[in-house]
Structure 1
């Protein structure tokens, strides 16, 4: 049997052979659980206050969040209640598959307002600071 006819080693077999994992030890699971959606650049001074997050809530369901609020399917924002207070109707209105959650977050991001300032205002002020040499 030539080396080419042998089945390729799995990553687990390679790691076990190198002593990086004990035989029979469970393999760690890695999963993305949060996305950030924002119309401002990530290095902008005001970026963090304009961000919307899409956060995993289990069972392939995602929440669209801004601070302590969740976006509902109808486009309204509601405070996220304690888990024991959430009924099935509330969850159905505020939990989505990932593609839908990201779509809703992208639609909502340009509409974020902070202390009366819109995304457009924040972008304009950032440009003015840049032109004045202050960031």
Structure 2
């Protein structure tokens, strides 16, 4: 299980490891089988990513199907045919026409390679170690309108990880002034609160010292929305977070 208390640089790239996968496929049935609190956090992250890249053109849809991976040199004739792959044992040469049966056998014995060359349906040569996908039955059952449930495996030790605090700031985490211009969304006994370390967001929509008058949100999404809206206007020593960010960018460019 990933330690969520520490920020890992390039975590997504590291998650994919040595694969060449360009996409991550997650079965809907397994997602809806996770605890509600986990689903809520997951959907919030999806929404955050969608908002971050809504300006980027993306495909209208993707076609995803279950498959099994095969190494070309280990595939049966039936599997090669299903994948549209042909074998060439004679390096592109063809026997002369009109050969008798024994002459054809002799020609094949003389010209046959130790291993064949492989070509895909478009005529492109494939390395014998290339991996191809063949359609297969999906072992994960259909989500059935949200009804299908599969009991998740609980961690053997250490318990489930619960995120109880989020930090929101216009300034990046590695900025020296990040902590001064940050707002925190934190889970308390009566719900989620928004604060800057000294003042709390109240029922009246203002900021006051102490937690006594703090507004407690039942849904952390609502608390995060307040923090995101207020983050640009966080002011320290007469400077807003946006102004601090702009100064940092100017110093970097200079």
Give the shorter-chain TM-score range. 0.5 to 0.7
Distance 2:196 2:189 in 1: 19
- Secondary structure, counterpart of 2:171 in structure 1: coil
- Kindly indicate whether residue 153 of structure 2 is the aligned counterpart of residue 11 of structure 1: yes
**Distance change in 2, residues 1:11/1:67 (3 Å):** same
- Kindly indicate whether residue 245 of structure 2 is the aligned counterpart of residue 123 of structure 1: yes
Distance 1:101 1:28 in 2: 26
Cross-structure match for 2:182: 51
Q: Using the TM superposition, give the Cα deviation of residue 9 of structure 1 relative to its aligned residue in structure 2, in angstroms.
A: 9.2
Task: Tell which has more relative contact order, 1 or 2 (C-alpha 8 A, sep 6+).
Answer: 1
Q: Point out the more displaced range, 48-57 or 100-109.
A: 100-109
Q: Taking structure 2 as the reference length, what is the TM-score of the superposition?
A: 0.37
Cross-structure match for 2:173: 42
- Kindly indicate whether residue 242 of structure 2 is the aligned counterpart of residue 112 of structure 1: no
Cross-structure match for 2:195: 65
Distance 1:96 1:9 in 2: 30
Pick the structure with greater CA Rg. Answer: 2
Distance 2:153 2:162 in 1: 18
**Distance change in 2, residues 1:128/1:94 (3 Å):** same
- Kindly indicate whether residue 217 of structure 2 is the aligned counterpart of residue 96 of structure 1: yes
Q: Taking structure 1 as the reference length, what is the TM-score of the superposition?
A: 0.66
**Distance change in 2, residues 1:113/1:29 (3 Å):** same
Cross-structure match for 1:24: none
Q: Using the TM superposition, give the Cα deviation of residue 107 of structure 1 relative to its aligned residue in structure 2, in angstroms.
A: 1.2
Distance 1:108 1:75 in 2: 11
**Distance change in 2, residues 1:95/1:9 (3 Å):** closer
Distance 1:76 1:62 in 2: 16
Q: Which runs of 5+ in 1 are unaligned?
A: 16-20, 22-26
Distance 2:153 2:238 in 1: 53
Distance 2:204 2:232 in 1: 17
Aligned residues: 105
Q: Which runs of 5+ in 2 are unaligned?
A: 1-138, 140-149
